[in-house]
Structure 1
Amino acid sequence: MKKFFAVFAALILLPLSLQAADFKEGTHYEVVKQNATSTPQVLEFFSFYCPHCFKFEPLMAQLEAKLGDDVEIKKNHVNFLGKEMGPQLTQAYAAAELLKVEDKVASLIFDQIHTQRKAINGEAGVLAIFEKAGIPEVEAKGALASFPATGIASQMKRNTETFQIRGVPSLIVNGKYQVITNSVKSTDEFIELVSYLTKKTD
């Protein structure tokens, strides 16, 4: 586990590498499902309570810019960190998606937990985050309690179980390939690997 986190720290800090990589199954990625998605997709599993996920955000922004609009990048919050607030923040992120303020809400939650080092306590704490994101309390409450938000949160939980995610951040590409994070040596190689997998279906 320490090696896993050390690799992610290195990805944030190392300069770009120009070395071309020969990516191999079992070394750089694992096949975790038999069939790939019909369109290119990157699914990032994360938790707001994971400091490595917080540090991983700039790398994901670089990846998104590099892959462009042809590849869908989705975030999947997990419930297994943060005790009872884990599922609540999954619901909050689902509601933020509905309201199309997920980037603002995610940034505010990460900042409060990891930069300000302040806890988010219950519904009141979640509503305060939405207010900072420009969403009135009545609208935020409605979204949090809505059937669509509950459906999104339930799907996130199912995804976590389906792909047997035990640690975060974790990436599943095209619904079929899981990136082996300790195989990459630089930011450039990481982006190259994910880009390679988005084009792969066999």
Structure 2
Amino acid sequence: MKKIIALLLVGVSALLAGCSESTTPVEGEQYTQLPANLSVYRLPQVTEVFSLNCGHCKQMESQLPKLEKLIDQSVGKVHVTFNESAQIGAMIYYSAEMQLGKKPDHQMMLDLFSAVQMADGATMAEKKAAIDNAFQSRGLVSPYDITEEQQQQLFQAMQLADDITTKGEINGVPTFIVNGKYEIITSGHQDIESIANTINYLIKK
């Protein structure tokens, strides 16, 4: 009888421990501290680091409106320049941001992702036409037609993005920078709600 009571007590203790499990994010599991303070770049408080060539980034884009509601603010954007394909994506993204004077809206981002990530069978001409349309349908100049002056602005924006990602030692996308000091470990989260929970925690940290 004593053994049964002891087992019951252990079981109840385990249940209570499970119920009181903390939802506080853990450094090294849900987030990490950046090697350099990126706040000198005057980034928005929450900034997504992404690439138009990244399939996971396209999936994240579809979740961003929900995330922005959960953290009660707009999310900034920095496009990586890791390699040649990322640099081409950055040129397309910053051509839009430069002309708009702000990040493109959610629908334009989805259009850009779709154009850059067209099916393998798509020709270069078809991809270019889709990119042209994403810009021209909004009264913007295609990245293929920008002036030399605009090209200089574009390269400055790309250099800034490269400085941010290099100094932050950001090696994977999509991810988020919070307060210029912390990087979200997206693989340490199950869903957009848990990512929002970590971001809200770090905003106040």
SS of the equivalent of 2:147 reads helix
Q: Which residue in the other structure is 1:76 paired with? A: 78
Tell me the C-alpha RMSD between the 2 structures: 3.3
Q: Which residue in the other structure is 2:87 paired with? A: 87
SS of the equivalent of 1:185 reads coil
Pick closer, same or farther for the CA change 1:94–1:67 going to 2, 3 Å.
same
SS of the equivalent of 1:165 reads coil
Shift of residue 143 of structure 1?
Answer: 8.3
Paired-residue identity, %: 25
Shift of residue 177 of structure 1?
Answer: 0.7
- AA partner of residue 110 (structure 1): F
Shift of residue 58 of structure 1?
Answer: 2.1
Greater relative contact order (CA < 8 Å, ≥ 6 in sequence): 1
TM-score of the aligned structures, taking structure 2 as reference length: 0.70
Whether contact under 8 Å (1:130, 1:140) holds in the other structure is no
* Match among 93, 109, 113 for residue 112 of structure 2: 109
Structure label with greater radius of gyration = 2
Shift of residue 187 of structure 1?
Answer: 2.5
Q: Does residue 171 of the first structure (1) align with residue 170 of the second (2)? A: no
SS of the equivalent of 2:57 reads helix
Shift of residue 54 of structure 1?
Answer: 0.5
- Partners of 2:70 and 2:148 in 1: how far apart? 32
Structure 1: segments with no counterpart, 5+ residues:
1-18
Structure 2: segments with no counterpart, 5+ residues:
1-20
* Match among 157, 180, 184 for residue 162 of structure 2: 157
Shift of residue 109 of structure 1?
Answer: 1.7
Q: Does residue 27 of the first structure (1) align with residue 29 of the second (2)? A: yes
Whether contact under 8 Å (1:33, 1:177) holds in the other structure is no
SS of the equivalent of 2:198 reads helix
Shift of residue 88 of structure 1?
Answer: 2.7
Whether contact under 8 Å (1:99, 1:143) holds in the other structure is no
Q: Does residue 49 of the first structure (1) align with residue 61 of the second (2)? A: no
- AA partner of residue 88 (structure 2): Q
Pick closer, same or farther for the CA change 1:195–1:131 going to 2, 3 Å.
same
Shift of residue 139 of structure 1?
Answer: 11
Shift of residue 95 of structure 1?
Answer: 2.1
Q: Which residue in the other structure is 1:199 paired with? A: 204
Matched residues, number: 178
- AA partner of residue 60 (structure 1): L
- Partners of 1:68 and 1:140 in 2: how far apart? 37
Q: Does residue 59 of the first structure (1) align with residue 63 of the second (2)? A: yes
| Higher helix fraction (1 or 2) | 2
